[in-house]
Amino acid sequence: MKKRTHILILLAAFCLVLSPLSAHADEWGTITIPAGKPIKIGMGTMLTGDYASMGIDIKHGAEMAILDHGPVLGHSLVLQAEDDGCSGPPSVAIAEKLCNDPLVVGLVGYMCSGGSKPASDIHNKYKVVMVSPSSTALELTARGIPIFFRTCWNDRIQAERAAAFAVKRGWANVVVLHDKSDYGQSLAEDFGKNIEKRGGKVLASEGLTRGDKDFSPVLTKIKPLRPKLIYFGGMAAEGVLVARQMKRVGLRKTHFMSDDGCYTEKDFIQAGGKATNGCYVTYAKEPDPVWVKRFEAKYGPRQTFSPQAYDATTILMRAVKKTAKKQQDGSLIIGKKALRESIAATGYDGITGRIAFDAHGDRTGSVVKIYKVVDENGKRFFKQLEF
């Protein structure tokens, strides 16, 4: 009996030792934030180059969310923003760096779909969640990557909305241009398919090269086709040049339409001058005006995705707070899969509206609006149209 009692005591002690471990067991592993250490939120966004104003705007949105929501369970929050170059190689390098930082709980980004796609493979390898405010390419949520979410929309919605608007306006004969990126090309091609579904015709489809400054040869080639509309899939640095050079080659009666990549006051409206008057872009419905006023008082005019970045960062912080288990020594233990499941179960009224995610990580109920560049009372701005 004594021997049996001794064995039972040993087993009980063994169970007591294991119980803290089993309490924090997570299929994907755990993140430990030691006492006194900050919780890091990673970020991949463009901080230099042609699209820096959009990337810095995203960074400011995330910063404001951290300032608004403060520490989590006694741990300060730090945003570690890295320059992802709006492309694959730097985004992959950032993913390797941040996924191997033991204090990083997740990432807001990447800015562009061409970066998010390869980086998401790295994040999936390490099971580190990412919530993109601006990567809209169709395939990102069709790849079965469980760690990817976005607070923007799937470009399928944007392409359908733009095509429906164009056909309703009678612009059924179109030319489709794109910047050859994962984002711009897939969106432009899907726009073209939607035009044809509605009885329209794609007269030509051409790829432009990011960084080029003269698109007049392409525009001169398509001029004889007399398109009602030129649709451009890509970013403002190239889009604004297309809009300006259309006028120079004589395509003055042809309308210009683009995507959220051109929804930036600085890089499209201001950079284009009067040549962008009358141009159309698609973007989400306007965010909470009270929030916009607070944001612009601190950072100046917002550009494009700062509201979605604010909501993405808030959702990640809320999930960390819900999932983290505080230990007696002041440390936090966060289950990686538990964190992912908390984000997946989001039901949140953000500054961009109601946010919930479907099984693929897409935001449900996304609304895309049509905007026109107008000049009213001496002010040029994006005006939301009724459609």
β-pairing, 368-376 vs 280-284, is antiparallel
Cα→Cα distances 6→16, 17, 140, Å: 15, 17, 57
pLDDT tens for the 387 residues of the chain, in order: 444 444 443 444 444 344 444 445 899 999 999 999 999 999 999 999 999 999 999 999 999 999 998 899 999 999 999 999 999 999 999 999 999 999 999 999 999 999 999 999 999 999 999 999 999 998 999 999 999 999 999 999 999 999 999 999 999 999 999 999 989 999 999 999 999 999 999 999 999 999 999 999 999 999 999 999 999 999 999 999 999 999 999 999 999 999 999 999 999 999 999 999 999 999 998 899 999 999 999 999 999 999 999 999 999 999 999 999 999 999 999 999 999 999 999 999 999 999 999 999 999 988 899 999 999 998 999 999 999
The 10 Å CB-count burial string (b at 16+, else e) for 218-250 is bbeebbeeebbbbbbbbbbbbbbbbbbbbeebe
Cα→Cα distances 60→2, 261, 313, 359, 362, Å: 68, 18, 11, 29, 23
Name the CATH topology of 30-152+305-355. Answer: Rossmann fold (3.40.50)
Residues belonging to the chain: 387
What pLDDT is stored for residue 7 in this prediction?
A: 40
N-terminal to C-terminal alpha carbon distance within the chain: 83
What pLDDT is stored for residue 374 in this prediction?
A: 97
Structure tokens at 272: 């284009």
Structure tokens at 226: 């007399």
What pLDDT is stored for residue 19 in this prediction?
A: 40
What pLDDT is stored for residue 6 in this prediction?
A: 46
Structure tokens at 156: 């399928």
What pLDDT is stored for residue 360 in this prediction?
A: 97
C-alpha count within 13 angstroms, C-beta hemisphere, residue 57: 24
What pLDDT is stored for residue 367 in this prediction?
A: 87
Sign of CA dihedral 302, 209, 132, 56: negative
The rounded distance, in Å, linking the Cα atoms of 63 and 104 is: 16
CATH 3.40.50.2300 range(s) for the chain read 30-152+305-355, 156-284+368-384
Quick check: 238 and 219 in contact, CB under 8 A? no
Query: Tokens 């080639």 sit at which residue?
Result: 221
Q: For residue range 321-335, what is the model confidence (pLDDT) as tens digits?
A: 999 999 999 999 999
Peptide bond connecting 126 to the previous residue in cis, omega within 30 degrees of 0: no
Q: Enumerate the β-bridge partners of residue 131.
A: 108, 149
Q: For residue range 102-136, what is the model confidence (pLDDT) as tens digits?
A: 999 999 999 999 999 999 999 999 999 999 999 99
State in words which class domain 156-284+368-384 has: alpha beta
